[in-house]
Amino acid sequence: MTAPLPLFDLNPALDASALAVQFAATRRLQIRDLLTERSAEVLAEVVQRQTPYGLAWREAGAAPQSLRAEAIRSLAPARANEMWQGAAGAVGRGDYGFVYAQYPMLDAYLQRWVPGHPLELLLEHINAPAFLDFIRAVTGIPELIKADAQATLFAPNHFLAVHDDRGTNDEARRVAYVLGLSRDWRPDWGGYLTFLDDDDDIIAGYRPRFNSLNIFEVPQRHNVTFVPPFAPVGRFAVTGWFRDR
């Protein structure tokens, strides 16, 4: 019998009580070495090499949109450029916009896009009592009952403009998370998760780190900085929200 993949084995050295003290200070935290090294390597392989990414974007005055991987492969270059220009133009005019590669794990799980894909198991792990109990303990929010998830890839020319996660009228979102799966990321490659105050000064920022979990209570103003064309690799992560209903 084949042994199951060690896809989401938590690091046994994690101290939830100590992490809770750190989180309470600013209601955000980067937890390094979330998983065992072997588990992080297996998950990174799945996210980087075995995931069929589509695209998510938002243009000015429009609702967020997405296309699955097979639709992206057949997309005309002119249309792809038009989508990027629409999203970038929105941000240039002070509106909210974004472009990044995406695999919406909850949709894929419920609609059986790729039955048996390892990310189906990952979604179950994220929603298992052991991990939810850990997140409840760190955040001090016992009402958290579930999480959604998406695999994301911020490739060159991708970005996520400033927002606070309240724009969807979805009050069930309580804690956002980003599980980083990129190694040796350099500051000049962008892709940082940054937090801003009401004067638009950056008050905190997290470098994309391999096997790190960024968590923050909603709402907080934040963005993912532009990944420039010269970045030689993309920023891989699993992201989503912990919810109370």
pLDDT tens profile 82-102: 999 999 999 999 999 999 999
Is the CB of residue 173 less than 8 Å from the CB of residue 147? no
Share of residues in the chain with pLDDT > 90 (%): 93
Question: What pLDDT was estimated at residue 1?
Answer: 43
pLDDT value of residue 3: 56
The whole-angstrom separation of Cα 94 and Cα 163 is: 11
Exposure string (b/e) for 117-136, b if CB count within 10 Å is 16 or more?
A: bbbbbbbebbbeeebbebbb
* pLDDT tens readout for residues 14-42: 999 999 999 999 999 999 999 999 999 99
HSE-CB of 104 using CA atoms within 13 angstroms: 13
Q: How far is CA 102 from the centre of its chain?
A: 9
Mean pLDDT of 215-242: 98
Average pLDDT value over all residues in the chain: 95
